[in-house]
A and B are shown apart, each in its own frame.
Chain A
Amino acid sequence: MEPTRDSHATLVDLLDRILDKGLVLYADIIVSVAGIPLIGVNLRAALAGMETMLKYGVMQEWDERIRAWERENKKDREFPLASGEQLVLKMLGSYHYSEGIYTSWRQGYFYLTDRRIALYLPTFGEVLFEASLRSIKGLAIGREKHFTATEREHLCLLLDGGDTAWLHALDTRQLKEAIEREMTAQGLTCEEMPALALPEEADTCPQCEQEAPVKELVRDGCGRCGWVSARVKEEMLRATAAR
């Protein structure tokens, strides 16, 4: 068997060697483009698989375009400070949003100023939560089971008028201390209060309109009128039939 070096049939073999191998100069006197032999890119595109294409930066142009668009169009909006308002602390965090039976932790950045604490979403310029320092009557650190199967701390705020807000931040304790410091500096007082548990979502029984926690309603039915969900009813029927 004779080796071949026909220039058409063995172009790939040549490229494998010329583009990937050879003597290497480890010196800063070499012209290079981030260590990528951009030169072979198009040839590679025609000859190689995706893995190699990525390795040789074929997608680079596309990637650059996407990034440029992102830079152009996704300019974060500045947090709207009132005139004379001073920013004290900015921290990644979330707050417990609850509306009817829908609850979730909504994420954004906490902006603590000398006037208020707000959770702000820079990408959309949206204020998700806001409370003035004056309206804070009490603060407490509580713990809750997070869905990631870990326990984490949250900050419970008791607000004017009896409302409560649950916040969680990258460093919840630091956020709490910063709020307290800012309030003290302004001569505002707040109580250290016992931590409140996260509220259980409540709904009303579709039959008698008794208020009860959602989980309980769905699982056990209504304690007052005996209403059960269709699913529970079906399960009960099945259990009876099996017997």
Chain B
Amino acid sequence: MQHGDTIRVASPSEGEAAAKVEGRYLYCVADSGEKVSLGPIGIDGREVYAIPYKDICAIVHDCAAEPYQSSDAEVVKGWVRAHQRVVDRAWEKWGTVLPLGFDTIVRDQEGSDSRESVETWLATDYQSLKRKMEAVRGKAEYGVQVFWDARTIAKSIAETSATMGRLEDEIRSKPRGLAYIYRLKLENALKREMEAKADQCFRDFYKRIKKHVCDLRVEKTKRTGHDSRMIMNLSCLVDRDKSTELGEELESIDKMEGFSVRFTGPWPPYSFVST
């Protein structure tokens, strides 16, 4: 199917404004010089097609030169999923993609169509795009998040730590007022030991995970609330055929008492294309 270069019928709900093409919404850069269409699978059912340059192409749809914005969370979720669907489709089809973040729109310049701008960008950045593509070829991104149950960990520290045990004995022999001060001391000691333990776990897990991945990024941990605490958040670039090994390693962490692991993916290599 040949994509329509100039004339395209806007869906009725979008009205007249939508018929005016002023920009190209970018989904990803793919490893193919084919001039093809992927069909109406884009955001709001837009026709998605490739703008090729040499042996690579940008996957785009035609749009107005303004960002997608909505106050309706459901609408936004739909757009984000559509974005992901298109990147996934290109990924399946050509094996290697460099995904773009949501809402990247190239707009028409004076005297130059945004299509030309996209081509110029592909031409100018060709070398660096190719290099990035080589770096992620045959690989996928996985999310690894390690949590611990603060209660279980605290309990095991309290049972095994010598300092904690000593403090606890001392509390019993103290009058009430002093015992209170000692309890505060105990809590602080516990907090410190837990931090140290989290640190040590991080280093241990990091070493174990690193063996199975090509590259990784340490992400910010997130607040999870209650007793479950995220102590590690990684984005890992993994050879497609090695994800099982990583899965096994993670399983052994997941089985440790008080620990749990979230393993998500495979994602297009979002975290490994920006630099």
A32:B67 contact, CB within 8 angstroms: yes
Which residue of chain B is the closest to A17 with respect to CB atoms?
B270
Which listed residue (B81, B132, B263) contacts A1, Cβ 8 A? B263
Majority-rule SS of B interface residues: mixed
Contact A38 to B69, CB < 8 A, known contacts A13-B143, A29-B117: yes
B114:A29 contact, CB within 8 angstroms: yes
B263:A39 contact, CB within 8 angstroms: no
Complex CA distance for A37 and B105, rounded to whole angstroms: 12
Q: Which of A10, A25, A27 has the most CB of B within 10 A?
A: A25
A4 near B: Cβ within 8 Å? yes
Complex CA distance for A37 and B70, rounded to whole angstroms: 11
For B26, the chain A residues whose CB sits under 8 A away are: 25
A42:B263 contact, CB within 8 angstroms: no
State the Cβ distance, B46 to closest chain A Cβ, in Å.
16
B28 near A: Cβ within 8 Å? yes
For B274, the chain A residues whose CB sits under 8 A away are: 21-24
Majority-rule SS of A interface residues: mixed
B142:A39 contact, CB within 8 angstroms: no
B66 near A: Cβ within 8 Å? yes
Within 8 A of B (CB), among A35-62: 37-40, 42-43, 45-46, 49
Within 8 A of B (CB), among A1-39: 1-5, 7, 10-11, 13-25, 27, 29-33, 37-39
B106:A19 contact, CB within 8 angstroms: no
Which residue of chain A is the closest to B233 with respect to CB atoms?
A16
B251 near A: Cβ within 8 Å? yes
A17:B107 contact, CB within 8 angstroms: no
Which residue of chain B is the closest to A42 with respect to CB atoms?
B73
State the Cβ distance, B259 to closest chain A Cβ, in Å.
12
Within 8 A of A (CB), among B101-115: 101-107, 109, 114
State the Cβ distance, B220 to closest chain A Cβ, in Å.
10
B172 near A: Cβ within 8 Å? no
State the Cβ distance, A144 to closest chain B Cβ, in Å.
46
Complex CA distance for A50 and B71, rounded to whole angstroms: 18
Which listed residue (B65, B67, B266, B271) contacts A5, Cβ 8 A? B266
Q: Which of A14, A17, A43, A49 has the most CB of B within 10 A?
A: A17
For A19, the chain B residues whose CB sits under 8 A away are: 80, 101-102
B148 near A: Cβ within 8 Å? no
Complex CA distance for A33 and B105, rounded to whole angstroms: 11
Contact A23 to B67, CB < 8 A, known contacts A1-B263, A5-B266: no
For B223, the chain A residues whose CB sits under 8 A away are: 49
Complex CA distance for A156 and B191, rounded to whole angstroms: 59
Contact A30 to B263, CB < 8 A, known contacts A21-B274, A39-B70: no
Residues of chain B at the chain A interface (Cβ within 8 Å) = 23, 26, 28-29, 65-73, 76-77, 79-81, 83-84, 98-107, 109, 114, 117, 121, 132, 141-143, 219, 222-223, 235, 243, 247-248, 250-251, 254, 261, 263-267, 270-271, 273-274
The contact sample of 9 A-B pairs, CB cut-off 8 A, is A1-B263, A3-B243, A5-B265, A23-B28, A23-B274, A25-B106, A38-B67, A39-B76, A42-B76
Additional 6 contacts, C-beta under 8 A, given A5-B266, A10-B143, A30-B104 = A1-B261, A16-B219, A17-B235, A21-B270, A25-B26, A37-B67
